[in-house]
Structure 1
Amino acid sequence: MKTLEYSYETSAGSGSGIREFDEPSTEVTFKIMGNSGNGAKVIEDEVVQINVKWDDFEESFELHNKSK
């Protein structure tokens, strides 16, 4: 994997990012740390739409609150 792109959408806003790799990544988990100045939070029962692209592949999925 040389390039990892992601985007997400919530009622509080949306975001995206790109990570580029010079050599194959050994990471299997990626964390996104936000720095929102307004402290916006996602509604408890909201479904978050996620889109991920890596090299020539693409996947979309939804995140649901597992306690619901």
Structure 2
Amino acid sequence: MLPDTAQEKPQRGKILSIGPGKLLDNGSRGKLSVGVGDVVIYGKYSGNDIEVAGKDVKILRETDILAKIVG
């Protein structure tokens, strides 16, 4: 077991945009559990970093999201 000081801390971010949802076997799209404006927690090494309009952003799959902050 690692001490708290040695463990990577999860990251927090605000969702700026979402896609249409996962394509299901029947051809429909799955409903997303997050939406634009939601604040989420994700792993430090999750997703891909890109630059959009001069700002660094991260692209995540919904499965990379560990929690949604409510309230």
Q: TM-score, normalised by structure 2?
A: 0.23
Q: Which has the larger radius of gyration?
A: 2
TM-score (norm 1): 0.23
Which has a greater percent of helix? 2
Select the structure with the greater relative contact order (CA < 8 A; seq sep ≥ 6): 1
Larger strand fraction of residues: 1
